[in-house]
């Protein structure tokens, strides 16, 4: 587990989406020599974070096999949306690690943040997200207060209706990359190759 300002920080990777438009599981998408989930986990491990992956039942074995250094848990009701998946990850941390913590939320299909953005957000004390061109992006850091607020909500409630993150401007070229269709894969490949 990483510590920032004496508070433990955990990372929750959201990987329970159905990937219908892409036609294959986003988390297991192979780009070069890596899968998208493995690429994401390896970036987060460099910051000494305890990483929790929340995925759907039919992907759990493949993700566990694909990734080292993360705990993988199942969302049995992924159709309830991202807030429900996030709640499962937060409850797991609460029950197994710590009662008071901050959480870095990383949707697997939104990997386009830079290393400097990741470092900056981990130094924040309040709920925060990067912003480019007036639009918020990922990852999202949740304060202890907002972790508790999210846990008290209906799992189908969109996060934007629960929290209001502080936004900080970044220049990340790929911040708004959303891996949603086959058309997004060339941009994802360019982004990942920029790390090599």
pLDDT at 6 (0 to 100): 59
Extract the tokens encoding 34.
């890596």
Domain containing 129: what range? 2-193
Extract the tokens encoding 27.
């988390």
- pLDDT (tens digit per residue) in 21-58: 887 899 999 988 889 999 999 999 999 999 999 999 99
Extract the tokens encoding 72.
């993988």
- pLDDT (tens digit per residue) in 56-79: 999 999 999 989 989 999 999 998
pLDDT at 32 (0 to 100): 82
Extract the tokens encoding 196.
């090599």
Return the CATH number at 51: 3.90.550.10
Q: Could you write out the DSSP letters of every residue in 60-89?
A: HHHHHHH-SSSEEEEES-GGG-HHHHHHHH
Secondary structure element (H or E) that encloses residue 169, with its range: strand 166-169
pTM: 0.94
Return the ∠ at Cα 48 (arms to 14 and 38), rounded to 5°.
45
- pLDDT (tens digit per residue) in 91-142: 999 999 988 899 999 999 999 999 999 999 999 999 999 999 999 999 999 9
The rounded distance, in Å, linking the Cα atoms of 32 and 192 is 9
The rounded distance, in Å, linking the Cα atoms of 83 and 156 is 6
Look at the chain and report how many structural domains it folds into.
1
Extract the tokens encoding 152.
């008290």
Confidence of residue 3 (pLDDT cuts 50, 70, 90): very low
The rounded distance, in Å, linking the Cα atoms of 43 and 87 is 23
């Amino acid at each position: 587990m990483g510590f920032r300002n004496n508070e433990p920080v955990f990372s929750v990777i959201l990987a329970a989406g159905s990937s219908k438009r892409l036609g294959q599981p986003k988390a297991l998408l192979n780009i070069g020599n890596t899968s998208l989930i493995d690429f994401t986990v390896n970036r987060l491990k460099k910051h000494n974070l305890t990483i929790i992956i929340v995925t759907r039942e039919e992907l759990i074995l493949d993700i566990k096999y694909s990734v080292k250094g993360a705990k993988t848990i199942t969302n049995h009701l992924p159709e309830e949306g991202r807030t429900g998946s996030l709640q499962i990850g937060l409850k797991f941390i609460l029950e197994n690690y710590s009662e008071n913590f901050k959480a870095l939320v990383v949707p697997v299909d939104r990997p386009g943040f830079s290393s400097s953005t990741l470092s900056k957000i981990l130094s924040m004390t309040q709920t925060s997200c990067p912003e480019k061109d007036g639009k918020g992006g990922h990852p999202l850091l949740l304060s202890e207060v907002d972790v508790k607020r999210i846990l008290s909500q209906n799992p189908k409630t969109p996060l934007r209706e629960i929290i209001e993150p502080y936004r900080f401007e970044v220049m990340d070229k790929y911040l708004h990359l959303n891996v949603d269709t086959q058309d997004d894969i060339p941009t994802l490949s360019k982004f990942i190759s920029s790390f090599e």
